[in-house]
Structures are given as C-alpha cells and as structure tokens.
C-alpha cells in the first residue's frame, strides 16, 4: 500500500492506494468517527463492493442509498434521494457518509455531506480509474445543471481516500480508457517525464498490469495533492488541473451528459487545447499529433463531435464556471509538462484551433 497526504493544515487527509484495500476493514474504520454511517453507491457498484463496506461497518448504524448509474443522473433530483435516505432513519449532524463508486457518486455524496445539517464528514472510496486519479481528491463536489456541468456545488474535503486498485478489474474498457485521459493530463500539465513514461508503458497500462497501474495512480494523485495543498479553492495554481476541461465540459453539456463519458470529453478537449497552444507558438507543432497518437491507442476521442459547431462551442464555454468577468479562462501548455492560465486568447484563434482539431477525426 502507498500513502500520500493532501496537506491542508488541520483538514489534511491521507490517500491510500493499493490492491485489496476493501478487504482491510480496519483501514476504513480508522477514519470513521461517527456511530452512524450512510453508504452512497449506485446500482452498478452495489452488487460488487457494497457488502465489503457494510461488513466493515457492521458494529455501527449503517444504512445505504443506492442511486441510478450515469452522468445523466447527476442532478438535484437524484441528490435529494440522498437527503431522503438520511432523514428517513434519521441521521444526526454527527453522521458520516461514504462515497462508494465513481466520480458521479463521489461528487454527489460530497455535495450532500457539505449540505446535510450544514455539513457532515464523508469518506471517498473510488472504484473507477478517473475517480481514483482525479475526482475523489481535492474536495470539489456538485451536480450538473442543464446549462452547464458542475454549476451547483461546494468545496468539501473528505476525511480520507481509499483507492483499491482491484476494483478496476471490473471496470469496463471504455471507462478505464476514459480514466487514463486524466492520467495523461497530469503529464501534459506538470511532468514531461511522466508523459513520456505513459507513452513507454501504454501497453502495460492497457493490460491493467498492477504495478504499472499503481504507479500511474500514485503519480497522478501526488501531483493533484500538491496542487490542491497550495491552492484549495482554485484561486490560482489549481486552475491548471482544468486543462482540456473547458472544451470538454462544453462537449458534455452539448450532448446532455450521457453520450460521451467525462474522460472522453476531456480527451477531445485536451487535443483542442494542445492545438491552440501550438498555434500560439507555446509548444512544438508536433505535440498535438503526439497526443492524438497516444489517445488513439486507448480508443479515446481525438476531436470534438461533428455536430458541435464553433460558435455553439463558444456559447457553451462562456457558461462554464471557469469564465471570469465574461472572459474565457483557458488552460494552455507553456511547454510539455508546464501549464499556464490565459484570459486574452482571441475568439478567432480559439475557433481556428477547434476547426484544426477536427482534422484528427477518423
């Protein structure tokens, strides 16, 4: 087992990464400080891993809330099912929630924990690669609105993150590849050597070799933990974690949160952002193709949807919560392994980059 810490003073918390961690109930119980527990999961994950968590909490009052699976259910209506379950027992203000699932479950459980009786503790037990390397770490919680992704939410840090790499054995190939998109992102924005390591080890990653996978998760989490520790609420440095996301969120909103997975939309968004970086002379002109080649090996999208026109793209991006005072705030690459936040990119250049990225479409 590997362990990292998100350094936030009194609210610091550990990230545990390893095989079979759900079979170690003492690890979970170490961080449960309440006599009441509500496990929130979905109808895909519940048959696989819910019993292990319930068994670990058998000496407590432990209840469960099983949500429908999918990004299309990440909304206020579904969120209210968590509150209904908490109040049905009822759970007090000292209860603790456990998020067992992927990014949707983690985001909604964290938001429910931030809101219930003005804030209760929660734990993250991510079961998808994307959640293990990204969404479970950092305290961003929320739900989608039909006008924009994650527009309703709160910052609320978990008490710990337990990433059992064995849960990835049951993850469908498409969702696994979508998680690797976020792994690639960390190399692009922070660590050129890590990006090159991903290129060299792509076959082992696709084969889900445990030692290689564990390193990818550990390195991704270590980068995010450092960034979050320096800028918890995204007032500066943390914005670089959104590389590809402003474009990606526009794709997700356009498609009503269901046709493309989050990681797939981010993958296409990273190609656009990389293309824009190259057009502005910030990175080598060959880097977009290098990224496309890597993502194609994973079966990830490498261009925006054909039915999403440039002007519609801009309209959706303008609603994104990363826009500041009416100006788009984009994360671009200053070089491979280093990102920069810009607010002065012309609409013309953005539109040209969007259109140029379409040349990579199959």
Lookup result for tokens 């082992």: 204
> Which position among 42, 144, 150, 242 bears the catalytic label?
242
| 31: annotated active-site residue | no
Lookup result for tokens 């949500």: 67
> Which position among 91, 215, 249, 282 bears the catalytic label?
249
What is the Cα–Cα distance from 68 to 85, expressed in whole angstroms? 14
What is the Cα–Cα distance from 167 to 115, expressed in whole angstroms? 29
What is the Cα–Cα distance from 150 to 133, expressed in whole angstroms? 18
> Which position among 91, 185, 238, 279 bears the catalytic label?
238
**Structure token pair of residue 136:** 């479970």
**Cβ neighbour number for residue 201 with a 10 Å cutoff:** 16
| 262: annotated active-site residue | yes
What is the Cα–Cα distance from 109 to 74, expressed in whole angstroms? 11
What is the Cα–Cα distance from 92 to 362, expressed in whole angstroms? 54
| 59: annotated active-site residue | no
Indicate the burial class of 149 (C-beta count within 10 angstroms; 0-12, 13-18, 19 or more): buried
> Which position among 31, 73, 74, 140 bears the catalytic label?
140
| 118: annotated active-site residue | yes
> Which position among 71, 175, 234, 264 bears the catalytic label?
234
What is the Cα–Cα distance from 38 to 61, expressed in whole angstroms? 8
> Which position among 10, 58, 59, 118 bears the catalytic label?
118
Could you tell me which of 242, 237, 41, 191 has the C-alpha nearest to residue 199?
191
> Which position among 262, 279, 282, 329 bears the catalytic label?
262
> Which position among 245, 279, 282, 329 bears the catalytic label?
245
> Which position among 71, 175, 182, 275 bears the catalytic label?
182
| 322: annotated active-site residue | no
| 327: annotated active-site residue | no
> Which position among 224, 254, 279, 329 bears the catalytic label?
224
| 335: annotated active-site residue | no
What is the Cα–Cα distance from 43 to 101, expressed in whole angstroms? 10
| 238: annotated active-site residue | yes
Residues noted as catalytic: 118, 140, 182, 224, 234, 238, 242, 245, 249, 262
């Amino acid at each position: 087992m590997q362990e990292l810490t998100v350094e936030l003073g009194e609210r610091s918390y550990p990230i545990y990464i390893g095989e079979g961690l759900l079979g170690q109930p003492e690890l979970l119980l170490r961080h449960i400080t309440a006599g009441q527990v509500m496990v929130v999961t979905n109808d895909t994950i519940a048959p696989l891993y819910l019993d292990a968590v319930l068994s670990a909490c058998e000496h407590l009052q432990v209840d469960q809330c099983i949500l429908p699976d999918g990004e299309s259910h990440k909304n206020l209506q579904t969120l209210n099912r968590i509150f209904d379950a908490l109040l049905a027992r009822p759970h007090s203000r000292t209860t603790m929630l456990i998020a067992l699932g992927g990014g949707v479950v983690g985001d909604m459980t964290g938001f429910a924990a931030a809101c219930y009786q003005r804030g209760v503790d929660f734990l993250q037990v991510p079961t998808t690669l994307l959640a293990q390397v990204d969404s479970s770490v950092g305290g961003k919680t929320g739900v989608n609105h039909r006008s924009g992704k994650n527009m309703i939410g709160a910052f609320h840090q978990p008490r710990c993150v337990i990433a059992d790499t064995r849960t990835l054995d049951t993850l469908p190939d498409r969702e696994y590849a979508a998680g690797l998109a976020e792994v690639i992102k960390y190399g692009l924005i922070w660590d050129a050597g890590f990006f090159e390591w991903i290129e060299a080890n792509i076959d082992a990653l696709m084969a889900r070799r445990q030692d290689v996978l564990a390193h990818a998760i550990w390195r991704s989490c270590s980068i995010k933990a450092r960034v979050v520790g320096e800028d918890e609420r995204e007032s500066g440095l943390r914005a670089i974690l959104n590389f590809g996301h402003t474009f990606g969120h526009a794709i997700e909103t356009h498609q009503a949160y269901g046709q493309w997975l989050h990681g797939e939309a981010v993958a296409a968004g990273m190609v656009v952002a990389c293309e824009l970086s190259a057009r502005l002379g910030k990175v080598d002109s060959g880097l977009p193709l290098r990224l496309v080649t890597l993502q194609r090996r994973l079966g990830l999208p490498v261009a925006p949807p054909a039915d999403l026109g440039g002007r519609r793209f801009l309209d959706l991006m303008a609603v994104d919560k990363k826009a500041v005072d009416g100006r788009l705030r984009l994360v671009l690459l200053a070089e491979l392994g280093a990102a920069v936040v810009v607010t002065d990119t012309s609409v013309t250049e953005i539109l040209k980059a969007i259109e140029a990225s379409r040349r990579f479409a199959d």
